[in-house]
Amino acid sequence: MPAPTIYYIRHGETQWNAEGRLQGVQDVPLNTVGRAQAERAGLILAELFARDGRERSELSFVASPLGRARTTMELVRGTLQLPPYDYAIDERLREIGYGRWEGSTLAEMEVADPKLFAERQAAKWMVSPPGGESYVEVEQRVTKWYAQVDTDTVAVAHGGTARALMVALGFETPQSAADLYIEQGVVYVFSTGSLTKYG
């Protein structure tokens, strides 16, 4: 039996994204660019569903509990002409926690704790920020989420959880995924043996 297809969307841009600040579990709202990116992702989804003969109302929809992901999902569903709030929330899809580093830029983190910053840059998948979590931990919870997905699903979450899913499914290694840029306003399609970006 083929694995379910995951239509994965990273939330739209926030002001902290624009400023290069780590958001983690902070609830920073979408900015104007981010709202447009969410609507664009909805249009891309509509095109994919039309191409593949998919009935949009038959898929599952799930989002991270963080506001930027939920707003993105609601804009995506609105673009698809579906009821905006009719989707599930799963805590396992929340962004990686950056602990005391949340709200900081990389340059600010390096100044604040150069030793730990260097350690994490050398082994980003394994090393946790102070009070935060490692990518290994994120990979574990995303793997548990994926294991219970039993139908084709639209998921709206974060860059960190996208990297973790790519590693969990064997599309990337921890080394290649650690600094991989996950785009906003596009759709990543995870299907049996393939990962394709549309946008």
Q: What is the pLDDT at residue 190?
A: 98
Q: What is the pLDDT at residue 2?
A: 79
Q: What is the pLDDT at residue 82?
A: 97
Say if strands 187-191 and 153-157 run parallel, antiparallel, or are unpaired.
Answer: unpaired
- Tens digits of per-residue pLDDT, 58-85? 999 999 999 999 999 999 999 999 999 9
Q: Is the pTM of this model over 0.95?
A: yes
User: Two tokens at 164?
Assistant: 């973790």
Q: What is the pLDDT at residue 143?
A: 98
Q: What is the pLDDT at residue 169?
A: 97
Q: What is the pLDDT at residue 1?
A: 63
Q: Which positions ≥6 away from 79 have C-beta within 8 Å? A: 38, 39, 41, 42, 43, 45, 46
Give the C-alpha separation, 185 to 199, whole Å.
Answer: 7
> What average pLDDT does this structure show over 7-36?
98
Report the residue count for the chain.
Answer: 199
Q: What is the pLDDT at residue 57?
A: 86
The pLDDT of residue 177 is above 90: yes
Q: What is the pLDDT at residue 166?
A: 98
Q: Which one is catalytic: 13, 95, 102, 172? A: 95
Domains of the chain, start order:
6-198 (3.40.50.1240)
Is 11 designated active site? yes
Q: What is the pLDDT at residue 73?
A: 98
Average pLDDT score over the chain: 96
Is 95 designated active site? yes
> What average pLDDT does this structure show over 159-181?
97
Q: Which one is catalytic: 11, 13, 74, 102? A: 11
H helical segments located in the chain = 15-19, 32-52, 67-79, 106-112, 114-122, 135-147, 159-168, 174-177
Give the C-alpha separation, 98 to 77, whole Å.
Answer: 29
- Tens digits of per-residue pLDDT, 124-158? 999 999 999 999 999 999 999 999 999 999 999 99
Question: pLDDT band at 21, cuts 50/70/90?
Answer: very high
Output the CA torsion 184→193→57→91 (10° steps).
-60
